[in-house]
Amino acid sequence: DGCGTDLAQVRQLLDRGRPVVLALFVSGAFTAAAAWLRTGTEIILPDDGEPIDRQRGHAVVAVGYGSFGSEDLILIRNSWGPAWGGDGHAWLRQPYLSRRLFGGFSISEGDGDVLQSDAGGIDARARVG
């Protein structure tokens, strides 16, 4: 399903057991471990207010959502390995995502070996070998 920048739709897709790929412009705080809030084993990235740098586009996978106090959060898995965040995961605050998110989609498995992206309506056959 295409969800664009609709965080409510991201949560709905996660409720249906479907991880969501998020395209966002990351900030310095995304890579600056010293700025992260650590609560137990969980990492929450700050909404740093940095200007958007359109040269810093990155994709992550939303794998959950929750709240910390009165703040809404989305749990992401990053592709940079277990040294980033908490074992490769971190919570992003909704204000951070709302400002920086420029697209999102989920991928579902179709009939047989057809993989389809609901975002583009394009089917692609999975090929092995």
pLDDT at 81: 92
Alpha carbons 108 and 117: distance in angstroms, whole number: 6
pLDDT at 6: 74
Range with the poorest average pLDDT among 23-32, 69-78, 109-118: 109-118
Q: What pTM did the predictor assign?
A: 0.79
User: Phi and psi dihedrals of 123, rounded to 5?
Assistant: -95, 145
What is the distance between the alpha carbons of residues 30 and 19, in angstroms, rounded to a whole number? 20
- Least confident segment among 24-33, 44-53, 92-101, 120-129: 120-129
How far, in Å, CA of 78 to CA of 91, rounded? 11
Q: What is the pLDDT of residue 5?
A: 60
- Which residues are within 8 A (CB) of 55 and not within 5 positions of it... i.e. 6 or more apart? none
Q: Could you give the percent of the chain with pLDDT greater than 90?
A: 44
Under 8 Å between Cβ of 102 and 85: no
C-alpha distance from residue 122 to each of 12, 23, 117, 127 (Å): 22, 19, 6, 16
Per-residue pLDDT of 35-56, as tens digits, reads 999 998 899 998 888 999 999 9
* Averaged pLDDT score across all residues of the chain: 81
In the chain, % helix, strand, coil (3-state, to 5) comes to 20, 45, 40
Residues 6+ apart with CB under 8 A from 70: none
Query: Mean pLDDT, to the nearest integer, of 77-84?
Result: 93
More confident residue, 113 or 39: 39
**pLDDT for residue 3:** 61
C-alpha–C-alpha distance, residues 80 and 59, integer Å:
11
| Separation between Cα atoms, residue 122 and residue 115, nearest integer Å | 9
